[in-house]
Amino acid sequence: MTSATSTHLAGTCRATGSTQHAVETHRPAEELDGAPELAVCGAVVRVGSAAWDGGADDACPACGG
């Protein structure tokens, strides 16, 4: 049995542009870079390879920022 690890990457919504959203991932960042995914708050975002920083000034409050 294998266990999946999850991590949170930063994603950007086209509608808001500058807001960074958290995307919980279960795959390597290389497989997701630039792909559309669902953020923790429900927004559809483009995933980057950067780790989610909930303390950033542009972090989405609904994602835990």
Give the CA distances from residue 29 to residues 1, 7, 16, 32, 61, in Å, rounded to whole numbers and listed in that order: 23, 9, 22, 5, 23
Instruction: Tell me which residue has tokens 């999946």.
Output: 4
- Kindly tell me if the per-residue pLDDT of 42 is higher than 70: yes
Higher per-residue confidence, 51 vs 65? 51
pLDDT digits (tens, 9 = 90+) for 47-56: 888 899 999 9
Cα(57)–Cα(17) distance, integer angstroms: 14
Strands (E), 1-65: 7-12, 20-25, 36-38, 44-51
